[in-house]
A and B are shown apart, each in its own frame.
Chain A
Amino acid sequence: MFVPTFVFLATFIYYPLCKGVVVAFQNYNMFDLTNVHFIGFKNFADVISDKNTSFWKVFLNTIEWTFFSLLLQFLLGFVLALTLRKPFRGRGIYTGLVFYTWALSGFAIGLIWSWLFNGQAGLVNDLLIRFHVIEKPIGFLSDPRYAMMSVIATNVWYGVPFFGIMLLAALQSVPNDLYEAAIIDGAGAARRLFSVTIPYIKPTIVSTLLLRTMWIVNFPDIIYAMTNGGPVNRTNILSTLMINKVFRQYDYGQGAAIGVIIMTLLGVYSVIYLQVAAKKDGT
């Protein structure tokens, strides 16, 4: 019974994974394919000590990107889920409209938003100037001060529906008796939210946050389409660095090394995260 599933996983997931890890330890680059051999940890050393693209800066960018995208997506998604919980007229259509951004391709979203954020003729600049918020247009994607917040804004626009959908489903599973009991006990709306709702859907929150963290870390599409890591590496995250190593520099070894680093970091993070989450639950 397990055989077909196992064959599928082995062929399409575990074999490429193992091969990828092996490549991380080889000097596999397009320039010299006839001479592929093992070079130990050299790829890792080169990537981390690269003076031209500070690895530390890219790492911090990744954390900034993930943390703020996650926080805003979660908060807005939660608000959305709370709003949609009770039926109202047109709820079906409204739900469809709000959730459609999740169906779009990240790369296409990046292209559209890079025009919206365009520094001369973009819609965002136009609106800000019309409402007298700013006087001169801002180069959202070309000014290192604004580039990161612009791509994060786009990511939030894209990712809210995920939390909306997952949290809505969780919210709808909270039994009404609990709320009735709380109301009888005199709990207000806020109290009900923090003492009844959130604890009840905590498992969903824990797993969606973890899942989404991993997805956001590995989500280069929007950044690639809008700034490709620029300007001056301000929006370069680990996954866009990996893409550029492979497709611009044709260095598969170093690209694979970055992939292994991402995988290790996410693995360690997941373990710690789940331990902490379980502890808070258990006691």
Chain B
Amino acid sequence: MGVHMKTALKSLSVLFLLVAFAMMPLYSQGSKETVAPKGEEKVTLTFVEVLTSPSRTKQLQDIIADYEKLHPNITINLISPPYEQADNKLTMMLNSNQELDIVEVRDHTIKQFVNNKKIIDLTPYLEKWDEYKDLLPLTVEAAKTVDNTPYLLPQFFYIKGLFVRTDVLAKYGITEMPKTLDEMYADAKNITGKVAGQYGYGFRGKGSPFKISDLLILANVPNISKDNIYRTDDGEFSFNTPEAKKSLTAYKDLFEKAAPSDSVNWGFNEQVNGFISGTTPFLVQDPDTVSMIGASLDASQYTVIPMPVGKSGKAYLDYGFAGLGIPTSSKHPDEAWDFISYVVSAGVNAKFCKEYGPLPVHASTYQTDPFFSSGVYKAWETEMSQPDTYVFVKYPLESAKYPAWAQTEEPSMQAFVLGQTQVDDLVGQWETYWK
């Protein structure tokens, strides 16, 4: 071969490889419909979860297998991106109009999906659903978070409870559980330092820490609005009240006297580790932590109690939730709904929640299933059945300022507990943000 021929061939093959490489995305399409040779039309649904964890994915796969047995013409393809990137991945998939049929929607992603017109209104399906009336009023309220329209069907509730290492406390002579925050703070500070390495409170310093600190600090303010935790009934900024400012100072005091200094950097994992190792016997967390703790501790070593009330006599709780929705790009919304109504049916939902941990969404579950009103779950049952003491409040999830709030609150709160900022400056910064 001549030189020119060789170089021409070389360039051509490189160009061909480049083109083939660039076309790779075309080969990775989502599932396509296949028609069975005889009988019913086969449908494949694509389901994207976002709260991925190895144990939960396994449970989902079992549920899917059961559903497929009941509906042999339907196959469900489960996509499980790793937890840290899952929200982003799903947003990308929806925005590139990939054909998805069922998606897991969270309380802080629903506004964005609705705004970008990526999920459909479920009202026509819910109206015809026989289990709709069985849903808790809280479930219906959560479903209608955006524009008072149900864009998702919630599956799980995440409500804070106080996890307590009863064995560690007993070592120091504390046998009675704290009913008020003042009592809990006192207990935590009492045991700190009694033995080297012993602290009292599992402080959350990193990773949306406001979800926990807000509850402890604002519990002392008597008239927080149920529609927005950051406003009082009089329209004031919640932290700009004398009770809240005193409470902030007490919270800083708790950090200084009852938490390891390292905890300004503690995220979820470190909090749970601190609890399991006994370093920090008080932990404020959601019910899905139960299965994680249960794997390492014996039932006799810990318990969960309702959140201690503040000086207002109340404990404010926000209800985090996650559920399922149907993307606008789905070509099989009816089949998708059928699967959703199966997964969120009272029976399946109860079973799923028992294994995975969070609170189920049907009223009947709490009435008929002793699991959710006994043992450690008694704490949450108490919280959900005494609305005057345990008041459910909402975060301003609809506000355009909400997504950036975590990144803003975290360093400012860290600066405060480390003594770099004063209370009034902190409250001023926050109030300016939420104006």
Are B411 and A233 touching (Cβ within 8 A)? Answer: yes
Distance to closest chain A CB from B418 (angstroms): 6
Are A4 and B14 touching (Cβ within 8 A)? Answer: yes
* Interface 1/0 per residue, B402-420 and A, CB below 8 Å: 0110111011101100101
Are A230 and B265 touching (Cβ within 8 A)? Answer: yes
> Taking the complex as formed, is A281 at the interface, i.e. its CB lies under 8 A from any CB of chain B?
no
CA distance in complex: A53, B261 (Å) = 23
> Taking the complex as formed, is A173 at the interface, i.e. its CB lies under 8 A from any CB of chain B?
no
Are A228 and B206 touching (Cβ within 8 A)? Answer: yes
Q: Kindly identify which residue among A230, A233, A247 contacts B88, using a CB–CB cutoff of 8 Å.
A: A247
Distance to closest chain A CB from B267 (angstroms): 9
Q: Kindly identify which residue among A31, A34, A52, A229 contacts B403, using a CB–CB cutoff of 8 Å.
A: A31
Q: Kindly identify which residue among A1, A34, A248 contacts B407, using a CB–CB cutoff of 8 Å.
A: A248
Q: Kindly identify which residue among B7, B404, B433 contacts A1, using a CB–CB cutoff of 8 Å.
A: B7
Distance to closest chain A CB from B427 (angstroms): 14
CA distance in complex: A53, B115 (Å) = 27
A-B interface contact total, Cβ < 8 Å: 103
List 23 A-B pairs, Cβ < 8 Å: A11-B22, A31-B115, A33-B116, A34-B115, A52-B411, A52-B433, A120-B197, A120-B262, A139-B260, A139-B265, A141-B262, A142-B205, A142-B263, A144-B418, A230-B264, A230-B414, A231-B205, A231-B264, A231-B265, A232-B415, A247-B88, A248-B403, A248-B406
- Which of A's residues lie within 8 Å of B, judged by CB? 1, 3-4, 7-8, 11, 30-34, 51-53, 118-120, 139, 141-144, 227-233, 244, 247-251
CA distance in complex: A230, B410 (Å) = 9
Distance to closest chain A CB from B272 (angstroms): 15
Are B262 and A139 touching (Cβ within 8 A)? Answer: yes
Are A249 and B116 touching (Cβ within 8 A)? Answer: no
Please count how many residues in chain B sit with their CB below 8 Å of the partner chain's CB atoms.
40
- Which of B's residues lie within 8 Å of A, judged by CB? 7, 11, 14-15, 18, 22, 88, 91, 95, 111-112, 115-117, 197, 205-206, 260-265, 279, 400, 403-404, 406-408, 410-412, 414-415, 418, 420, 429, 432-433
Q: Kindly identify which residue among A7, A118, A230, A250 contacts B206, using a CB–CB cutoff of 8 Å.
A: A230
Which A residues lie within 8 Å of B15 (CB)? Answer: 3-4, 7
Are B116 and A119 touching (Cβ within 8 A)? Answer: no
Which residue of B is nearest A141, CB measured? Answer: B265
Chain B CB within 10 A, most for which of A143, A229, A231: A231
Which A residues lie within 8 Å of B429 (CB)? Answer: 51-52
Are A33 and B95 touching (Cβ within 8 A)? Answer: yes
CA distance in complex: A7, B15 (Å) = 8
Which B residues lie within 8 Å of A141 (CB)? Answer: 262, 265
Report the 7 A-B pairs with minimum CB-CB distance, sorted nearest first: A119-B262, A142-B265, A4-B14, A139-B262, A52-B408, A249-B404, A142-B262
Are B414 and A32 touching (Cβ within 8 A)? Answer: no
Distance to closest chain A CB from B146 (angstroms): 12
CA distance in complex: A251, B405 (Å) = 13
Distance to closest chain B CB from A226 (angstroms): 9
CA distance in complex: A33, B264 (Å) = 35
Which residue of B is nearest A143, CB measured? Answer: B261
Distance to closest chain A CB from B97 (angstroms): 12
Are A53 and B411 touching (Cβ within 8 A)? Answer: yes
Distance to closest chain A CB from B307 (angstroms): 26
Are A232 and B420 touching (Cβ within 8 A)? Answer: yes
Which B residues lie within 8 Å of A231 (CB)? Answer: 205, 264-265, 411, 414, 418
Which A residues lie within 8 Å of B418 (CB)? Answer: 144, 231-232
Distance to closest chain B CB from A139 (angstroms): 4
Distance to closest chain B CB from A79 (angstroms): 33
Apart from A8-B18, A250-B403, 18 more pairs, CB < 8 Å? A1-B7, A3-B11, A4-B11, A30-B112, A31-B403, A33-B115, A34-B117, A52-B407, A52-B408, A52-B433, A139-B262, A141-B265, A142-B205, A144-B420, A227-B265, A230-B411, A231-B265, A248-B407
Which residue of A is nearest B405, CB measured? Answer: A249
Which B residues lie within 8 Å of A11 (CB)? Answer: 18, 22
CA distance in complex: A144, B265 (Å) = 11
CA distance in complex: A32, B400 (Å) = 9
Are B400 and A31 touching (Cβ within 8 A)? Answer: yes
Which A residues lie within 8 Å of B407 (CB)? Answer: 52-53, 244, 248-249
Which residue of A is nearest B400, CB measured? Answer: A31
Which residue of B is nearest A248, CB measured? Answer: B407
Q: Kindly identify which residue among A33, A143, A232, A248 contacts B411, using a CB–CB cutoff of 8 Å.
A: A232
Which A residues lie within 8 Å of B7 (CB)? Answer: 1
Which residue of A is nearest B406, CB measured? Answer: A248
Q: Kindly identify which residue among B95, B403, B411 contacts A249, using a CB–CB cutoff of 8 Å.
A: B403
